[in-house]
Structure 1
Amino acid sequence: MSKTDLKIRLKIELPDGVRLGYGKIDLLRAIDREQSISAAARSMGMSYRRAWMLLEELNRSFASPVVETRMGGAGRGGASLTGTGMRIIAIYDDAQTRANEALADQLRKLADELAGDVSPPTEEGS
């Protein structure tokens, strides 16, 4: 990461200690892309169980579910985002953009304070 690559990674605290951050948003995006919880989890290097638990947490947190599932069989199962899920991504993206814009000057100032060459220490220099 270079000095100009500083990023803000937004995490929003929801009631009951639930956090909405880039990880859950990435999972929702993956479900939208893959149309499957298991395929989405695999694409992120996450277990199905972990993905399911995160989705259950989100579904409990919002007034209506963010993901709906379909049973397998002849009609093929799968999962898709609901309107709420799509709106949650849009709201999060807007908040992330606004945070980046609002803090751009501070990020530049912070970048100016970083060491010029931040490379991992060698065994000799450890």
Structure 2
Amino acid sequence: MTKISLKFDFANGERLGPGKVDLLEQVRDHGSIAAAGRAMGMSYRRAWLLIDRLNHMFLEPVVVTQLGGRGGGAAGLTPFGEDVVACYRALQAKTAAAVADDLAVLEAALRPKAD
């Protein structure tokens, strides 16, 4: 099955695509930037830099963090962060629906994968 992947290059130079949205979902699911990064096979530093970029690209932050202590730090999506994820996924679904017929034509013309 073909997957639709969207990347937005905004007029202000910022970018939003599947990797950043996946990272936001991992933060939501794991409650930690470090755990989200590990789940995606990236370093904590890379994950933190991406989250920091996301927090500064919009007027509102998308992730809120709590400093570590005995049990370690925590992170979660803000309500706006949840909206960003939902909006991106909705755009992805609408795009997939809009191109389904044309995509089926291309898929039908593909050479079968060799085993």
Q: What TM-score comes out, normalization by structure 2 length? A: 0.92
In 2, Cα distance between equivalents of 1:83 and 1:18: 21
1:14 Cα deviation after fit: 2.2
SS at match of 2:96: helix
**Higher CA-based Rg:** 1
Among candidates 3, 22, 33, match of residue 7 of structure 1: 3
1:31 aligns with 2:38: no
Identical columns (%): 45
The residue type equivalent to 2:7 in the other structure is: K
RMSD over equivalenced CA pairs, Å: 1.5
The offset of 1:74, in angstroms, is 4.2
Partners in 2 of 1:39 and 1:76 — Cα distance?
11
In the other structure, the counterpart of 1:123 is none
Structure 2 partner of 1:97: 93
Give matches, 1:1-126, under 5 Å.
5-74=1-70, 76-115=72-111, 117-119=112-114
Q: For 1:57 and 1:15, locate their aligned partners in 2 and report how far apart those are by CA, in whole Å.
A: 16
2: CA distance, partners of 1:17 / 1:76: 34
Letter in 2 for 1:110: L
TM-score with structure 1 length normalisation?
Answer: 0.85
Paired AA for residue 46 in structure 2:
R
Cα offset for 1:90? Answer: 0.5
How many matched pairs? 115
Provide the secondary structure at the position in 2 that maps to 1:17. coil
Query: How many angstroms does 1:61 deviate by?
Result: 0.8
CA contact (8 A) 1:28 1:81 kept: yes
CA distance in 2, matches of 1:44, 1:86: 19
Closer/same/farther in 2, CA of residues 60 and 91 from structure 1, 3 Å limit: same
